[in-house]
């Protein structure tokens, strides 16, 4: 009996257990060998990730507030994987940091929040999970304790999060007023498209827009990403964004299916703006972190196209793309993080002539960037192709063939985005630099994360079984 | 015969290169791999003839079809007909000669390093994309290989190129990716308008060819596909990457660009745009003809103004590739055969040209016509090769260029409309211009008195350069003197495409 319940919240439980273990470690001895502590935590995360594949159950808990099934377990495990990779990558940075355990406590509590958010079957539960995942993030953004920009980033993050949560909550409460329920299934039957419902949906979507930084709600992104430590930046741009998008897809498809005409048009505008403005800003960035931040804004635009597909293919492509996006973006962030931790260099100009002393790191960065740009044979190509294909598959209700217009804009935006990715490639391989970055020594943990990322990028695309599996779950 | 070998062997070669140390090992492995590719393509040709002789009349043979992404109806489907066979032969010639020409890795990077491993890897990897593209029978697979062949070019030009290499590399990559973005829209549009009977869609070229895609849909998506591939094949207003890309690229990369990459475009226009959307091909035929005539004439006149040998050849490529698109636009069987022949012929001829220019540049360190002269006296082999390439380019009988261009012209005469005849006459006029610039170039650079005294110390071609040039000349002469074998090879493939087009006209 009890074991059944525990099995349903297994993923959440494991993360909570790891948090408790860390808490007890904190209570104990004062001085610890940081390296072995980090290795120990990484092992815990590996166990957490591997166990995510087993004993997954289906069912609901807490009076229909919480639900889980294979698809949701998979989504959670994708986030587990991302967290593991980030933890491996930040080894170099954390080694010199005083508050390792606090860092992981906060990190894992956001992860826990995301899990609850993904598993929510009720808007209240969703909101609870969301808050649990956002507030520790602001503390994390402040983790470069000596840097002023880091505090600034934290302040900006918490303010914009609070504002967007306000919008979301406003939308939710209006939705409750209009329908009298917050349960997903009941909501989906009650929605008929009355003006109040549409207004509340718009509030709701705007709140989401803030969270995954769609244009015009993206302005907090660049400063926060630049100011935060690289590990937190990558966590924000990959894991936190991925989790929100998972929820967004499932909420749209499950709850708001009845008013899909409304949100199709909304997503159309959002995605065109997001791609276009994200790309335009990314074009001229000099700081690598800022550059990756804006490129990740543009990536969201592509993901939104997949969501407009409103089909199993749409939902599957989004999840598949986020998996690939984790590999590609973390590959890029990993290199930037390592170089920044060892040499302190973060601008594009510093990367000129990078290939001279750092062959392997250059290739990792190049492959990741190619994957982000969607160049075969990397997985990014497959991910983007399927997203756009899903978007094109939506039969348009008006005579305008909006779906084809959308993918034409998207395809051309891919070319724009290619320019700035190639700019980095050009800096690495082609530009002359009298004083290139010295050989960056990489240790076991970052190397392992690079291997995972590159293998993921090169294999995920060809091995169609990953996509087939996701598709079978979505159906 | 397992057609997968034609992708696997180049792929293995390129990966093997990564594990080598030093230039000697790298180039040896590359040479062996490229030679195996050439042999393999001849074996494939032999097997192809055997199959045909044994009475196998199916359109594509050696088919191999497995589901790749089943939920999205994406298959990995390959197979060849005569046209793809011709392109495979061309590719294997270019790959081998490209490796031979880069034997000494003349171009160093801006950092002063050799990076030979990376160079040969990218070169061979580019070949993988081309082979895969030519044998694909599934639109997704085709698109995959098309894009696969873009980024290696960017790196090859940007790292080992000369002149304003970064600019050219970026321009090339962005224009080609822009082209493939258009192709993507065309493919997606086609995909969602197919119907396999049970309401699902398909990417399979053979199946789509059997279906009748609604004419309105064809009219909408044909331009996307055609212009998209056209960017690769130097379609008129989108040809601007050609001169810059070719002239900045290292020798072998120029050969690959002109010999293979531009052919991807022509082949794509033929196989995807025209074959799958025959109605629209008819509808837009006149536009294609007008645009390609402009390209032919404009390319020729632009060449006249050039003083850099590589620019001369690059602009003349625009002009010559115009014939490919003209042949596709005319839409008769002979013209289609001519178009494919022109692709093969131009591929070999330009590769030879670029190889010669590379050899001359390595020795004299200049490509300016005004600084060259009298090379025949010091390097007879290279000069003779250069003259042969030139004569082939201006369409002298006995070389492949003549055969291909005449076939296109004859094809246009099969159409009764006066418009086609005018177009042909206009295109023919370019031959005169071609003769002017080719003869002028030869006269200035090859013949005459020695321009500079230090040239008298220069050495003639080494063994690897002789091999490379000889192989290409053999190809050119084999087509020029005995064109029938190529004609027979391409004929049935062109017939399939034509039958699709004829069907349509009757329905109308």
The verdict on a CB contact (< 8 Å) between B71 and A316 is yes
User: Residue B174 is nearest to which of A376, A415, A430, comparing CB atoms?
Assistant: A415
pLDDT value at residue B332? 87
Q: Is A210 in contact with A123 (CB distance < 8 Å)?
A: no
pLDDT of A397 over the 70 cut: no
* Number of residues written out for chain B: 508
For the ranges A176-185, A306-315, B23-32, B172-181, the one whose mean pLDDT is highest: B172-181
CA distance A394 to chain B (A): 9
Residue A418 has its nearest CB partner, among B144, B173, B191, at B173
Cα–Cα distance, A136 to A41 (Å, whole number): 19
Query: Does a cis peptide bond (omega within 30 degrees of 0) precede residue B343?
Result: no
The mean predicted confidence, pLDDT, of chain B is 87
- Give A279's contacts in chain B (Cβ within 8 Å): none
Name the strand (E) or helix (H) holding A226: helix A219-227
Question: Nearest C-alpha of chain A: how many angstroms from B199?
Answer: 13
pLDDT digit string (tens) for B42-58?
Answer: 999 999 988 888 888 88
For chain B, the structural domain boundaries read: 5-507
> Can you tell me the distance from the alpha carbon of B229 to that of B262, in angstroms, rounded to the nearest whole number?
9
Does residue A10 have a pLDDT over 90?
no
Which SS3 state, helix, strand or coil, does residue A459 take?
A: helix
Joined together, the tokens standing for residue B418 give 């006066």
Report the residue from B69, B110, B174 with minimal CB separation from A467.
Answer: B69
Using an 8 Å CB-CB cutoff, list chain B residues near A429.
155, 158-159
Distance between CA atoms of residues B375 and B355, nearest Å: 15
Q: Do B174 and A419 touch (CB under 8 A)?
A: yes
Chain A residues close to B189, C-beta within 8 Å: 392, 404
Q: How far is A448 from chain B (nearest CA, A)?
A: 21
Task: Report CB contact under 8 Å: A430, B192.
Answer: no
Q: What part of A 73-102 touches B (C-beta under 8 Å)?
A: none
Query: Which residues from B are below 8 Å from A when comparing CB atoms?
Result: 68-72, 109-111, 113, 140, 143-145, 147-148, 150-151, 154-155, 158-159, 165-166, 169-170, 173-174, 177-178, 181-182, 184-185, 188-189, 191-192, 220, 224
Give the number of other CB atoms < 10 A from CB of residue B220.
18
**Using the beta-carbon criterion (under 8 Å), do B182 and A393 form an inter-chain contact?**
no
DSSP 8-state class, residue A229: -
Record the tokens describing residue A214, joined without a space: 């769609």
Whether the predicted pLDDT of A390 surpasses 60: yes
Residue of B nearest to A416 (CA): B174
Please give the distance of CA B402 from its chain centroid, rounded to a whole number. Answer: 17
Contacts of A372 in chain B (CB under 8 A): none
B177/A415 Cβ within 8 A: yes
**Mind listing the pLDDT tens digit for each residue in A13-68?**
899 999 999 888 877 766 678 888 888 899 999 999 998 888 878 888 888 888 88
* Residue that has been written with the tokens 């040809």 in this structure: B239
Tokens standing for residue A242 = 């991925």
Say whether the peptide bond before residue A377 is cis (omega within 30 degrees of 0): yes
- Say if A276 is an interface residue toward chain B (CB within 8 Å): no
Determine the pLDDT at residue B507. Answer: 47
- pLDDT tops 90 at residue A231: no
The pLDDT-based confidence of B497 (bands split at 50, 70, 90) is confident
> pLDDT (tens digit, 9 = 90+) per residue, A97-106?
888 888 999 9
Residue A305 contacts B, CB cutoff 8 Å: no
- Specify the 3-state DSSP secondary structure of B80: strand
Find residue A67's DSSP bridge partners: A60
d(CA A319, CA A307) in angstroms, rounded, equals 10
A377 interaction partners in chain B (CB closer than 8 Å):
144, 148
Q: How many helices (H) and strands (E) in chain B? A: 23, 2
Measuring CA to CA, which residue among A148, A118, A153, A152 is closest to residue A133?
A118
Pick from B351, B392, B343: which is nearest to B490 by CA?
B343
- pLDDT tens digits along A31-45: 678 888 888 899 999
Between chains, do B113 and A356 touch, taking CB under 8 Å as contact? Answer: yes
């Amino acid at each position: 009996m009890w074991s059944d319940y525990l099995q349903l919240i297994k993923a959440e439980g494991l993360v909570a257990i790891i948090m408790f273990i860390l808490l007890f470690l904190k209570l104990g001895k004062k001085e610890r060998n940081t390296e072995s502590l980090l290795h120990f935590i990484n092992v815990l995360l590996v166990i957490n990730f591997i166990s995510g594949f087993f004993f997954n159950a289906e069912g609901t808990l807490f009076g229909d507030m919480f639900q889980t099934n294979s698809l949701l377990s998979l989504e959670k495990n994708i986030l587990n994987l991302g967290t593991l990779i980030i933890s491996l990558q930040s080894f170099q940075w954390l080694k010199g940091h005083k508050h390792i355990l606090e860092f992981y406590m906060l990190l894992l509590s956001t992860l826990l929040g995301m899990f609850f958010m993904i598993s929510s079957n009720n808007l209240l539960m969703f909101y609870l999970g969301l808050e649990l995942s956002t507030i520790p993030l602001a503390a994390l953004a402040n983790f470069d304790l000596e840097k002023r920009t880091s505090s600034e980033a934290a302040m900006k993050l918490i303010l914009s999060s609070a504002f967007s949560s306000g919008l979301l909550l406003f939308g939710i409460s209006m939705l409750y007023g209009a329908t009298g329920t917050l349960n997903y299934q009941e909501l989906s039957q009650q929605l008929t498209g009355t003006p109040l419902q549409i207004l509340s949906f718009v509030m709701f979507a705007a709140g989401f827009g803030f969270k995954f930084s769609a244009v015009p709600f993206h302005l907090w992104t660049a400063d926060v990403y630049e100011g935060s430590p690289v590990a937190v930046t990558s966590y924000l741009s990959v894991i936190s964004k991925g989790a929100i998008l998972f929820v967004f897809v499932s909420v749209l498809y499950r709850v708001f299916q009845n008013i899909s005409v409304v949100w199709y048009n909304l997503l159309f505008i959002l995605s065109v703006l997001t791609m276009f403005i994200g790309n335009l800003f990314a074009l001229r960035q000099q700081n690598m972190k800022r550059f990756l931040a804006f490129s990740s804004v543009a990536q969201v635009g592509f993901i939104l196209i997949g969501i407009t597909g409103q089909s199993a293919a749409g939902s599957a492509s989004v999840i598949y793309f986020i998996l690939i996006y984790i590999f590609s973006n973390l590959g890029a962030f990993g290199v930037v993080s390592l170089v920044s931790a060892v040499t302190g260099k973060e601008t594009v100009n510093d990367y000129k002539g990078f290939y001279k002393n750092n062959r392997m790191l250059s290739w990792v960065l190049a492959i990741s960037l190619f994957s982000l740009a969607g160049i075969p044979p990397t997985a990014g190509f497959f991910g983007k192709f399927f997203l756009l294909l899903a978007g094109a598959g939506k039969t348009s209700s008006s005579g305008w063939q909006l779906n084809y217009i959308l993918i034409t804009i998207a395809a051309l935006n891919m070319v724009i985005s290619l320019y700035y990715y190639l700019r980095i490639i050009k800096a690495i391989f082609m530009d002359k630099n009298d004083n290139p970055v010295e050989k960056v020594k990489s240790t076991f943990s970052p190397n392992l994360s690079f291997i995972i990322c590159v293998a993921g990028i090169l294999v995920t695309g060809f091995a169609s079984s990953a996509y087939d599996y996701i598709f079978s779950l979505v159906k | 015969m397992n057609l997968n070998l034609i992708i696997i062997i180049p792929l293995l070669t390129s990966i093997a290169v990564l594990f080598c140390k030093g230039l000697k090992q790298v180039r040896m492995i590359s040479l062996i791999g490229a030679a195996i590719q050439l042999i393999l393509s001849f074996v494939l040709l032999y097997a192809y003839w055997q199959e045909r002789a044994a009475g196998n009349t199916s359109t594509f043979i050696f088919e191999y079809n497995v589901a790749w992404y089943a939920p999205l109806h994406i298959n990995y489907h390959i197979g060849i007909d005569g046209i793809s066979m011709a392109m495979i032969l061309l590719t294997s010639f270019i790959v081998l000669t490209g490796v031979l020409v880069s034997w000494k890795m003349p171009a160093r990077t801006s950092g002063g390093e050799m990076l030979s491993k990376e160079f040969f890897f990218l070169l061979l990897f580019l070949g993988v994309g081309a082979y895969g593209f030519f044998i694909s029978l599934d639109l997704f697979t085709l698109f995959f290989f098309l894009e696969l062949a873009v980024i290696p070019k960017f790196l090859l030009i940007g790292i080992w190129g000369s002149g304003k290499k970064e600019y050219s590399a970026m321009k090339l990559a962005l224009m080609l990716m822009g082209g493939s973005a258009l192709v993507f829209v065309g493919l997606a549009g086609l995909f969602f308008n197919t119907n396999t009977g049970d309401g699902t869609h398909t990417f399979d070229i053979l199946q789509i060819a059997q279906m009748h895609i609604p004419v309105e849909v064809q009219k909408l998506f044909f331009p996307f596909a055609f212009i998209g591939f056209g960017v690769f094949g130097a379609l008129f207003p989108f040809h601007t990457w050609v001169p810059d890309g070719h002239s900045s690229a290292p020798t072998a990369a120029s050969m690959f660009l002109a010999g293979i990459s531009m052919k991807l475009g022509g082949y794509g226009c033929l196989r995807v745009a025209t074959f799958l959307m025959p109605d629209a091909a008819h509808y837009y035929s006149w536009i294609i003809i007008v645009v390609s005539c402009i390209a032919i004439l404009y390319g020729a006149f632009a060449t006249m103004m050039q003083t850099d040998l590589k620019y001369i050849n690059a602009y003349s490529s625009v002009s010559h590739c115009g014939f490919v698109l003209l042949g596709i636009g005319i839409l008769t069987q002979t013209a289609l055969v001519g178009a494919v022949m022109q692709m093969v012929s131009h591929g070999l001829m330009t590769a030879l040209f670029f190889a010669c220019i590379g050899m001359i540049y390595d020795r004299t360190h200049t490509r300016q016509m005004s600084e060259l002269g009298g090379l025949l006296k010091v390097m007879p082999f290279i000069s003779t090769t250069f003259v042969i390439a030139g004569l082939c380019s201006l369409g002298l009988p006995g070389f492949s260029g003549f055969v291909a261009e005449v076939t296109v012209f004859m094809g246009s005469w099969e159409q009764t409309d006066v418009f086609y005849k005018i177009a042909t006459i206009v295109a023919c006029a370019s031959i005169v211009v071609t003769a002017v610039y080719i003869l002028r170039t030869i006269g200035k650079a090859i013949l005459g008195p020695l321009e500079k005294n230090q040239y008298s110390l220069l050495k003639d071609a080494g063994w690897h350069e002789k091999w490379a040039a000889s192989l290409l000349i053999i190809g050119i002469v084999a087509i020029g003197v005995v064109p029938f074998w190529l004609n027979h090879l391409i004929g049935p493939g062109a017939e399939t495409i034509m039958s699709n087009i004829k069907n349509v006209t009757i329905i109308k």
